[in-house]
């Protein structure tokens, strides 16, 4: 009996000591956690990549994002969306930032993207301090993490060393970036093609807990009269709102209940048939995604933690490293 009690107290003390250690970086994974195969660290990226060449890189990005957020909190949604669009076409290589005729920036999918000027301003500051060193892909990745922190997402540690791509084609953005009309099967296939899974799809879509969409993106949902997937009052509100003005410029909150809080309200809205985009609402009604939607609706803290975790891996997808790509001098143009 005494041996059993000692064993129990040893276990209790171990849990008390080890749990905070496991949570220290914001991730509560068990000590023997092994990332799934698709989450192996990307070769060529390292935490201390700019340790000698640009030691204050993270500080410079963080201060700039903080200042921009204080002036306009909607920049957080802008940066998170920009980062996702970059990832969607050829991975995180800053191809979305290239400003040239026919580049991704000029795709229909990019019409409402924001944050380009902030990333360029950070680049200019970094070029002054550490010339030709920090890639635009790393700047966008770090700025998105810091913007997410500003809205209350858990911290996630980053590795650096991404290089910038030299290709950017608007046709590719229009082909690959999800626009809100896809089926769940299309979205699952798209995420899986990038090494992310169904849970990542549901969790990352939770970014739609902040930000706005244009009425043009909402129209497909309104045209179909399906009361079983659209709350009546919410549908009437959207029809009224989107009747005014032109569909491109009239904007609606993605989370109609708590539009500025990065919370799990997005999932609760789906349960109330109040998802703004058709693709969002479909995730409640599809057997592959429903249980994750319900889990995130129940577990607000788990959502924020899991969002950070999925974003961390999203930033490692299809990165160029080593002698691949380049470090651009300006984020808006490839080097000549
Ligand atoms: C899974 C499929 C997804 C679809 C179909 C989708 C679609 C859309 C659409 C149509 C808009 C509105 C664009 C407009 O009319 O202005 C939007 C906005 C937004 N999306 Fe997504 N998205 C998806 C996933 C994601 C992911 C994974 C993230 C981030 C991790 C994200 C972050 C955002 C943000 C923050 C906004 C608001 C932007 C702003 O306020 O400027 N989306 N998305």
For atom 35 of ligand 1, the residue with the nearest CA is 77
Residue with the nearest Cα to atom 40 of ligand 1? 211
Locate the ligand 1 atom nearest the alpha carbon of residue 277 and give its number: 10
Q: Write down the pLDDT at residue 39.
A: 65
Q: Which of 186, 209, 182 is nearest to 76 (CA)?
A: 209
* 180 in contact with ligand 1, CB cutoff 6 A: yes
pLDDT recorded at residue 36:
55
- How many residues appear in the chain? 336
Q: Residue 75: what pLDDT?
A: 98
Choose among 332, 284, 334, 311: nearest CA to 97: 332
Beta carbon of 80 within 6 Å of any ligand 1 atom: yes
Annotated binding site for substrate: 178
Question: What pLDDT shows up at residue 92?
Answer: 95
Label residue 142 left, alpha or beta by phi (over 0 means left) and psi (-120 to 50 means alpha): alpha
Relative to the CA of 180, which ligand 1 atom is closest?
A: 5
Binding-site residue numbers are: 86, 89, 91, 93, 95, 104, 178, 208-209, 255, 258, 263
Q: Does the beta carbon of 151 sit less than 6 angstroms from any atom of ligand 1?
A: no
Which ligand 1 atom is the nearest neighbour of the CA of 114? 41
Catalytic: which of 78, 79, 82, 85? 85
Q: Is the CB of 178 under 6 A from ligand 1?
A: yes
From ligand 1's centre to the CA of 81, what distance in Å?
Answer: 6
Contact 60, 126 (CB under 8 A): yes
Contact indicator for 136, 328 with CB cutoff of 8 Å: yes
- Number of neighbours of residue 53 by Cβ within 10 angstroms: 11
Q: 212: Cβ below 6 Å to ligand 1?
A: yes
Cβ(115) to ligand 1 under 6 A?
no
Q: Is 252 exposed, middle or buried (0-12, 13-18, 19+ CB in 10 A)?
A: middle
pLDDT tens digits, residue range 289-321?
A: 999 999 999 999 999 999 999 999 999 998 999
Residue by residue, pLDDT tens for the chain (336 residues) are: 444 444 444 444 443 333 333 333 333 333 444 455 556 667 889 999 999 999 999 999 999 999 999 999 999 999 999 999 999 999 999 999 999 999 999 999 999 999 999 999 999 999 999 999 999 999 999 999 999 999 999 999 999 999 999 999 999 999 999 999 999 999 999 999 998 999 999 999 999 999 999 999 998 888 877 878 999 999 999 999 998 767 678 899 999 999 999 999 999 999 999 999 999 999 999 999 999 999 999 999 999 999 999 999 999 998 999 999 999 999 999 999
207 lines ligand 1 (CB under 6 A): yes
In the chain, what are the domains?
Answer: 57-177 (1.10.520.10), 196-313 (1.10.420.10)
Cα 196 to the chain's mean position, in Å? 13
| pLDDT for 35 | 52
Q: Is 85 a known active-site residue?
A: yes
Hey, which of 207, 209, 275 would you mutate to test ligand 1's pocket, going by the most ligand atoms within 8 Å of its Cβ?
207
């Amino acid at each position: 009996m005494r041996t059993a009690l000692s064993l129990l107290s040893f276990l209790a003390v171990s849990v008390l000591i080890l749990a905070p250690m496991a949570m220290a970086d914001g991730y509560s994974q068990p000590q023997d956690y092994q990332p799934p195969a698709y989450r192996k660290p990307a070769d060529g990226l390292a935490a201390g990549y700019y340790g000698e060449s640009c030691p204050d890189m993270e500080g410079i990005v963080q201060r700039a994002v903080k200042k921009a957020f204080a002036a306009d909190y909607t920049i957080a949604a802008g940066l998170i969306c920009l980062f996702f669009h970059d990832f969607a076409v050829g991975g995180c290589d800053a191809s979305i930032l290239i400003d040239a005729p026919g580049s991704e920036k000029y795709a229909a999918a990019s019409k409402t993207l924001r944050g380009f000027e902030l990333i360029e301003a950070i680049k200019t500051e970094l070029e002054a301090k550490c010339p030709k060193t920090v890639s635009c892909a790393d700047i966008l990745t770090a700025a998105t993490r810091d913007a997410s922190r500003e809205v209350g997402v858990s911290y996630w540690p980053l590795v650096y060393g991404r290089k910038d791509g030299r290709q950017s084609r608007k046709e590719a953005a229009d082909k690959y970036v999800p626009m809100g009309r896809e089926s769940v099967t299309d979205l699952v296939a798209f995420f899986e093609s990038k090494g992310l899974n169904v849970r990542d799809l549901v969790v990352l879509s939770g970014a739609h807990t902040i930000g706005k969409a244009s009425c043009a993106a909402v129209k497909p949902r309104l045209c179909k009269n399906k009361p079983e997937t659209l709350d009546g009052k919410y549908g009437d509100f959207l029809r009224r709102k989107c009747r005014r003005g032109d569909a491109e410029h009239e904007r609606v909150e993605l989370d109609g209940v708590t539009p500025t809080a990065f919370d799990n309200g997005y999932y609760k809205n789906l349960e109330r048939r109040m998802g703004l985009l058709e693709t969002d609402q479909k995730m409640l009604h599809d057997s592959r995604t429903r249980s994750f939607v319900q889990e995130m609706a129940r577990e607000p803290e788990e959502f924020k933690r899991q969002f950070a975790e999925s974003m961390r891996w999203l930033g490692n997808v299809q990165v160029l490293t080593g002698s691949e790509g380049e470090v651009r001098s300006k984020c808006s143009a490839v080097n000549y």
